Amino acid sequence: MKKLLFYFCLTISALIFLYPFLWMISASLAPESEIGNLFALPSSFSLHSYLSMFNKIPIGRAFVNSMIVASSITFGVLLTGSIVGYALSRLQFKGRDLIFYIIIFTMTLPFQITLIPQYIIMVKFGWVDTYLALIAPYMINALSIIMFRQYFKTIPQDLIDAARIDGCGDFRIVFRILWPNSIPAIVTIGIITFMASWNEVLWPLIVIRDESLMTMPQLVTLFAVGGRAESQLGVKLAAAVMLALPIIIVYLFFQKYFIQSMTSTGIKD
Amino acid sequence: MAEVRLKDVSKIYDGKVKAIDSVSIEIYDKEFVVLVGPSGCGKSTLLRMIAGLESISDGDIYIDDNLVNELSPKDRDIAMVFQNYALYPHMTVYENMAFGLKIRKFKKEEIKKRVEHASDILDLEELLHRKPKALSGGQRQRVAIGRAIVRKPKIFLFDEPLSNLDAKLRVQMRTEISKLHHRLGATIVYVTHDQIEAMTMGDKIVVLKDGIINQISAPMNLYNHPANKFVAGFIGSPAMNFIRGKIISDSELFFVSTDNLIKIALLTEQQEILKKYTNEEVTIGIRPENIIPSKLINENSYKITTTLDVVEPMGNETIIYFKMGENKMIARIQSGEVLRVNQSFELLINLEYLHFFDGKTEKVIE
């Protein structure tokens, strides 16, 4: 009985979280006149909102832009995070711990504080309205460094020593020995980074004005709050579904690691 | 030709802790040298310094007359076998063995030839395509040795390679490594805390304590002529028995234990050596096998009657624990009669095999 009540509560909670999302998909496929109905399924399904949305905004181009930006950032973060994480976990040098504490400190700074200086740097570099403005500032982050550092600490020192005797330098140790043995950390950091950069809106809104360079969330946000949707809720919802779709696909593929990423403390099993 | 020379090598951590203190060792070509000592004595640190995995605070290390202090491990032409095998988990046995050669840009055919040769020596042919997690402890250790063999290095370094294996496998691997040493004619530096491994495998044993060399010698010489009380107690199992006391002169020289319950008349040649220690503190040492049942008559012996505290029948021999005065003693006697705890028993200490150590410096008196 207790178990039954427990499952009942869980089901209700799941429905509360899931319902808005299911409604969004259902409404995006419904005729415009039936969108106001919050509970019943539409009388007919149509792709009209999607076709209309495709005609109004370059969502395909934005998807490609988002893929380029999110993939480059993810790759960059994995590369830099693992290199710095290795240095902080395995190399001996003066000030190592101080550097680590400074990196942790940067995590406490909200994005809004660095927003303006970062924008000024982009202007000075002439990177505004280029991919570089979207990618370069995010190529390294504290969370990935900390997670890699913690994970690498769990790998036996003997393995690294053996590689050194076999003739490996530090980069070979990171990419030939540590990477293949840190798949859970790589996937976890990869998913977190990819999701964060995919969903980023504020920064692209500041540095990108050229529509052909806009990322999906930026384009969808401008579309939803700007006048181009012509107050049609269906097309806005269709755009929102398109925005969420890649993340859902990523989630389905890496579900196991995704959950791990939310609970992981960097400790190896 | 592969020789290693350590000259006044020291390792100081954080400017304070001296892990290795001015160690000098000469390791000759094809020699099997064992570094032995209790935990924390610095033996693994010393091996890692030879490997280049640990920096040197002071002194010089030469490999074949080349100063290698600043050389990275890959340039020292050494191979190392680790205690926990340190096999790359994502590679197969073949890839593990080939990895070092690939990095050194050997040709594929040469790599294949060397891996096949090593796997033949170590009986690994059937396991070449397995990953380390699919291997037993003994097999993993053989792969780790194979990885060292394929490199054909000048020096092999072993860091407690048998510690993670069970007792039976340890004995088996011990003989395999010894055979390998003769077969390859390799120069080996081997670290262990197990004095049986040291005694059975080494051509030369280096006994370390607190980062200081206590003695360097051939195994049997180390056993029969320990340089100090520590070496005497560390080498040999069960360990040597020690009794503290004084040398007194009473027409001739006697050893009298601190509790005054033991008075041993010393042999003529012992009196000669111990003359200058009259009224000085001295510790005597006697190995468990030099205490024998009294029915085995021995002229130069000291007779004791004692009660047995513990009896450990081992099959071929029996280890007995008893007290001599206030000193706890161990004897190893041939199994013959059945002995029981609390049984009264007469034993003879063979005085010819007594060792004498200075009461203050603990150095052997010779």
User: Quick one: pLDDT band at residue A267, thresholds 50, 70, 90?
Assistant: very low
Dihedral sign (CA A198, A202, A204, A209): positive
Predicted confidence at residue B97, as pLDDT, reads: 97
CATH 3.40.50.1820 at A59-263, yes or no = no
CB of A247 within 8 A of CB of A198?
yes
Q: Does A161 touch chain B (CB under 8 A)?
A: yes
- Looking at chain A from residue 185 to 204, which residues have their Cβ under 8 Å from any Cβ of chain B? none
d(Cα B308, Cα B141) in Å, to the nearest integer? 42
Q: A48-57, A167-176, B143-152: which has the minimum mean pLDDT?
A: A48-57
What is residue B359's predicted lDDT score, i.e. its pLDDT?
A: 94
pLDDT greater than 70 at residue B1: no
Q: Is the pLDDT of residue A230 over 80?
A: no
* Domains in chain B: ranges and CATH: 4-234 (3.40.50.300), 241-358 (2.40.50.140)
- Looking at this predicted complex, what is its ipTM? 0.86
Question: Looking at residue B366, what is its pLDDT?
Answer: 84
Here the tokens at position B203 are 């051509």
**Chains A–B, number of C-beta pairs less than 8 Å apart:** 52
Helix axes A216-225 and A59-90, enclosed angle (nearest 10) = 130
Residue range(s) occupied by CATH 1.10.3720.10 in chain A: 59-263
Q: Which residues of B touch A172 (CB under 8 A)?
A: 103
| Nearest chain B residue (CA) to A180 | B90
- Mean pLDDT taken over chain A: 89
Q: Are A242 and A169 in contact (CB under 8 A)?
A: no
Cross-chain Cβ contact A167/B78 below 8 Å: no
Q: What value does the mean pLDDT take over residues A110-122?
A: 92
Q: What is the pLDDT of residue A260?
A: 64
Our CA-based measurement puts residue B138 at a distance from the nearest CA of chain A, in whole angstroms, of 18
> How much is the pLDDT for A40?
67
Question: Mean of the pLDDT values across residues A77-84?
Answer: 97
Contact between chains at B100 and A172 (C-beta distance less than 8 A) = no
The model's confidence at residue A268, banded by pLDDT at 50, 70 and 90, is: very low
To probe the interface with A, which of B14, B45, B48, B53 has the most A CB atoms within 10 Å?
B53
* Of residues A161, A167, A181, nearest to B103 (C-beta): A167
Q: B74 vs A181: CB contact, 8 Å cut-off?
A: no
Residue B23 Cα distances to B26, B216, B219, angstroms: 10, 11, 20
> Over the stretch B34-84, which tens digit does the pLDDT of each residue have?
999 999 999 999 999 999 999 999 999 999 989 999 999 999 999 999 999
Residue A265 scores a pLDDT above 60: no
Mean pLDDT of the B11-36 span: 93
Q: Which of B8, B21, B33, B15 is nearest to B211 (CA)?
A: B21
Supply the mean pLDDT for chain B. 93
Contact: B74, A172; criterion CB under 8 Å:
no
pTM check: above 0.90? no
* Best A154, A159, A161, A166 residue to mutate vs chain B (most B CBs within 10 Å): A166
CB contact under 8 A, A165 and B84: no
- Tell me the angle at which helices A59-90 and A183-199 cross, rounded to the nearest 10 degrees: 140
Over residues B226-230, mean pLDDT: 96
- Cα B174 to Cα B90, B111, B168, B201, B238, distances in angstroms: 28, 27, 10, 7, 20
Confidence of residue A250 (pLDDT cuts 50, 70, 90): confident
Q: By mean pLDDT, which of B144-158, B165-179, B257-271 is the weakest?
A: B165-179
Pairing status of strand B355-358 against strand B281-286: antiparallel
Q: Which residues in chain B are contacts of A177 at CB distance < 8 A?
A: 88
**Which 166-185 residues of chain A touch chain B by CB within 8 A?**
166-168, 172, 177, 180-181
pLDDT over 90 (residue A169):
yes
Q: What is the pLDDT of residues B106-125, one digit of tens each?
A: 999 999 999 999 999 888 99
A38 HSE (CA, 13 A, CB side): 2
> What phi, psi does B131 have (nearest 5°)?
-90, 155
